[in-house]
Structure 1
Amino acid sequence: MKRKIYSILTATALLFLGGCTGDYLDINDNPNQAVSSTPELVLSNALNTTAGRLTHNQIGNFFGGYWAPSGSYSGFIEERQFDYGATYGTGVWNSCYDNLTDYKYIVDKADAQKWKAVSGIAKVMMAYNYQILVDAYGNIPFSDALKGTASIRPKYDDAQAVYNGLITLLDAASTDLKVAISGDNPSPAGQDIVFKGDLTKWRKFANTLRLRILMRQTNVTGKDLKTEIAKVVAEGAGFLGAGATVTSTPGYLKTAGKLNPFWENYVQNAAGSDAGAKQAYVCSDFFITTIQDVLKDPRLPRLAAKNNAGIYVGVPLGDGNDANLFPKRSWFGPAIIKSFDQPMVLMTAAESFFLQAEAIQRGFMTGDAKATYEAGITEAFTAAGLTAADAAGYYGSSIVNANWANSPDKIEAIITQKWVAMFSLTGFEAWSEFRRTGFPKVPLATKAVQAKAPARLFYPTSEIATNADNVAAQNVTSQFDNKIFWAKK
């Protein structure tokens, strides 16, 4: 029997739209009204909320070629037909700006006390959130945002100008993070649920985020990426390395509302019963076919589970018939579904290697593109529970887009392997990279209303209601044709 779900946004049982509340951190959820709040205390909750958001990655998992709705549920018109409007994905806008308000509070209070470490971390996370907003919506409030009653209808900034502003913000963050810990610049180790106060790791994360922002602009005419990336390298801390996946570990508990949000929404509740959304989402046919038949990737048993017939079978996005009922199709594997207290991923270390490999291959950085690419595959293999030897055997094979020498398009090989590495963890990033490069060649939904892939989200109804003139000035009329400035034309 099919269960009916009209939208990932109206079925609140399926989503953690606002992110994890973080009550178990014992921190006030609205720091701007909490008399006793301090920057370092608000930091824990802000980091937890950033990592706990699911909406943007769920959308990316669909549009990026990873997931499909199972035949056990009706609805999902937005995903099955690419037919959506201003009510779809509103959690992306709302949760990012709510989160940004927290980080702005931290920066303002910390800067006033010259707490450089706390301020630097918050600035990194502001850039992280703003990039998601640009990549989803294009032009957004930036220079006029987060001013409260001083600007209740903030003007919109050009998306590329926001990207430039994020590089400046990350530069400032790195400067802050270089200041030595002292009595006047206290360590945030007790409140930092990402790196436990290791400021060098925060600098590496900031540099990798800068590299992501810059590499997203490979299609932008007149952008001197070589010079800009040289500045990132000159910062000195380097990039995220082996085993350095950026995660949030607030201390999840086996209690309702305190489990890992991915687990609680897609796997099990605190009582051990199936989550309401467990049977709603399965692997797409494109993902299974690509991993199993095209790439012949040994990670398949780690990334996906066999169906009730003991084979790997995905669902074509858009196909909701009974042949695709949940037990008949492949769900997520043990590298994705681990435990109620598994960390939430902000950025994978494998992504760092693939960003560097692409930058080297395009001539923006010096180095060995092949070796860096293979390091990315190794990182992805070990993160999935396999070994470096397994990875070496794989990229040492003759398979196109696995073996470097046998891959005629090196950029396609890099992006394809990045896509595999990010499966179900950072789906929004996979969708963004598909929009930038066209790789991998994700097919359209079988019932797509147009023969085009989604290029963006619409501004949400809340913004239309409160900032109508500025929204209208952006002239966004199509989810297909109004592309983000960095997208492949």
Structure 2
Amino acid sequence: MKNTSKFLAALVLVSLTTSCGDDFFDINENPNSLTLESATPNAILAQALKVTADNYGLTLNTYGSWTAGYWGKTGTVNGYNPERTYTYSSTYQQGLWGSVYDNIKDYDNIEKNGADLGLVYISSIGKIMKVLNYQLLVDQYGDIPYSQSLQSDSPTPILAPQYDKAEDIYKDLVVKLDEAIAAIRTPGANAVAVGPEDIVFGGTMANWVRFANTLKLRILLRQSFVPALDGYVRAEMTKLQAQLAPEGFTTTDVAAQPGYLQTAGKQNPFWNAYRANPAGARIAQSNYQAGTQYIIDQYEQNSDPRVSQLYVLATAGAFNGKYKGVVLGDPNPLPGGTQISRWKDYGGILKGFDASTPLMLAAESYFLQAEAKSRGFLTGGDAGAKTDFNNGIRASFVYFYAPAPSRAATTSNVSANAVADYTKYLTANTTNGLVDWDAATTTLGVPAGSTTRPVSKLEKIIYQKYLAMNSVTAIEAWNEYRRTTFPKFPASLQSSSPRADKLPVRLLYPQTEISTNFSNIPENINQFTSKIFWDVMD
């Protein structure tokens, strides 16, 4: 049994140190080690949230950007064979599995130790973040260890956990979110507030409820096209509607900000990987990949002002003065640098060394609500869906135009232009069904011999979500493509996929798991044929 007095004493120490501006990057890198400083939930929360931001904003965002058609390889570098052909192996992205499970274990400690100490709020945060991370794993791997996954250090350790069915895990994630929301709303007397160790919401628990509600909506919609689950999804949506007030859904970007600095090991992970070292010098990696011509075309062809906030014009070569992207899988791509459109420095994608890392965009929240209302899952009807749809586009402009903290006083801060440019975008597209809620057709992507094509409500929602998630929360765009088949972005020219869309459908189980838990891994898994359970729309 844990020594509660020691835990409480450590908690007091942590509260004192964090209130004095403790550097969250200096927290023990292994929060699972039960030292005096790391045993308490407060001591490990900031580090756990930072690791989630690293996994989501860098690893998953990078993988999603390649698979969802946002990025292609430039001619500056060789390699990237899995990204160009989708010939995944058990070592491709294998670090993701262990990193996310380690992160889940941190949150499990936060949840359980918080409950032991009567810290309802921080325990509930741990539970919500476990749900987020388990969903991330299910969406890439399908069946995973769940009910036995965190018992390697229990009194009766399980070193080779069994795999649970993905659809069963999804249902339990909804239950866990309901539990967390109920606990936050009724914490009991003398509930202990969460402070600056919460690097996402700063201890504002109503925002955690909003996030949990929105995460639940995402989970329910993701499985909503599975015929056998229609009754379950509708029943849970009815419960969600009834229990939504007073907090509602997320209306601001959910982002982690541990206090990124222009120092080794402390920069925003995306900036550090794809733009500059701590000395401010451009790194070679910044020229290895670039935006695809497809994604750039979606902004240019719709007169979308966001293009100038995301990319720069080529300044040399045949496309000087134009936006020029690369083609995914092109065997002879243009070199990175001035002949193509790099991401704009201090723009919407490369915001700066101290930019927050999004875990869920406000735009996504609004688009989820628009879909749920347009399909009759939530009340509000077409009018409510239209409002949410437009709010989602507006939120995307606001996000892409907002600067990193260190750029707020510079000329690169164009945040004042966001709403005006959003209005220009709507005005320029009143007959374009990909942008205007009431327009039923578009001239973009029409079949041969036609001048227009119909656009469903679902397609326009997912299309705008796709534009909003570009290179920021790209893994969700990839998930949504597999769920809905929208938008119809081109696959790699060198694709080895036998599918009609020439794309993969999942990651393979990692070699680390094959080496240690082979007898429990589902058999005959293939990246082109072994779909996640909610992927039924082909």
Calculate the TM-score normalised by the size of structure 2. 0.83
Q: Any conservation in 2 of the 1:239–1:352 contact (CA below 8 Å)?
A: no
In the alignment, the residues of structure 1 paired with residue 151 and residue 169 of structure 2 have an alpha-carbon distance, to the nearest angstrom, of 17
Q: 2:528 aligns to what?
A: 480
1:467 to 483, 501, 517: 517
Q: Any conservation in 2 of the 1:203–1:237 contact (CA below 8 Å)?
A: no
Asked if residue 449 in structure 1 is aligned to residue 449 in structure 2, the reply is no
In the alignment, the residues of structure 1 paired with residue 291 and residue 237 of structure 2 have an alpha-carbon distance, to the nearest angstrom, of 36
Note the alpha carbon deviations across 1:191-212, whole angstroms, 9 max, x for none.
1000000000000000000000
Q: 1:268 aligns to what?
A: 276
Q: 1:422 aligns to what?
A: 469
Q: 1:49 aligns to what?
A: 51
Q: Any conservation in 2 of the 1:226–1:365 contact (CA below 8 Å)?
A: no
Q: Any conservation in 2 of the 1:255–1:270 contact (CA below 8 Å)?
A: yes
Q: Percent identity?
A: 40
Asked if residue 395 in structure 1 is aligned to residue 426 in structure 2, the reply is yes
In the alignment, the residues of structure 2 paired with residue 41 and residue 24 of structure 1 have an alpha-carbon distance, to the nearest angstrom, of 9
Q: Any conservation in 2 of the 1:117–1:179 contact (CA below 8 Å)?
A: no
Q: For 2:181, give the aligned amino acid.
A: S
Q: How does 1:284-303 map to 2 (within 5 A)?
A: 284-293=292-301, 295-303=302-310
RMSD: 1.7
The runs of 5 or more residues in structure 1 that have no matched partner are 1-21
Asked if residue 226 in structure 1 is aligned to residue 234 in structure 2, the reply is yes
Q: 2:8 aligns to what?
A: none
Residues 241, 165 of structure 1: alpha-carbon distance in 2 compared, 3 angstrom cutoff: closer
Q: 1:40 aligns to what?
A: 42
Q: How does 1:31-430 map to 2 (within 5 A)?
A: 31-36=31-36, 37=38, 38-53=40-55, 54-149=58-153, 150-180=157-187, 183=190, 185-223=191-229, 224=231, 225-235=233-243, 236-242=245-251, 244-293=252-301, 295-308=302-315, 309-333=320-344, 334-367=347-380, 368-385=384-401, 386-396=417-427, 397-407=430-440, 408-430=455-477
Q: For 1:482, give the aligned amino acid.
A: S
Calculate the TM-score normalised by the size of structure 1. 0.91
Note the alpha carbon deviations across 1:240-274, whole angstroms, 9 max, x for none.
444x1000110111111111111111110101112
Q: For 2:82, give the aligned amino acid.
A: E
Q: Any conservation in 1 of the 2:94–2:510 contact (CA below 8 Å)?
A: yes
In the alignment, the residues of structure 2 paired with residue 283 and residue 202 of structure 1 have an alpha-carbon distance, to the nearest angstrom, of 33
Q: Any conservation in 1 of the 2:24–2:47 contact (CA below 8 Å)?
A: no
Q: Any conservation in 1 of the 2:200–2:254 contact (CA below 8 Å)?
A: yes
Q: Any conservation in 1 of the 2:25–2:258 contact (CA below 8 Å)?
A: yes
* SS of aligned partner of 1:327: coil
Q: Any conservation in 1 of the 2:288–2:336 contact (CA below 8 Å)?
A: no
Note the alpha carbon deviations across 1:131-180, whole angstroms, 9 max, x for none.
01000000000011111141100000000001001101111111121134
* SS of aligned partner of 1:215: helix
In the alignment, the residues of structure 1 paired with residue 217 and residue 116 of structure 2 have an alpha-carbon distance, to the nearest angstrom, of 30
1:68 deviates by: 1.0
Q: For 1:415, give the aligned amino acid.
A: I
Residues 237, 75 of structure 1: alpha-carbon distance in 2 compared, 3 angstrom cutoff: farther
Which range moves more in the overlay, 382-391 or 198-207? 382-391
* SS of aligned partner of 1:195: coil
In the alignment, the residues of structure 2 paired with residue 228 and residue 361 of structure 1 have an alpha-carbon distance, to the nearest angstrom, of 17
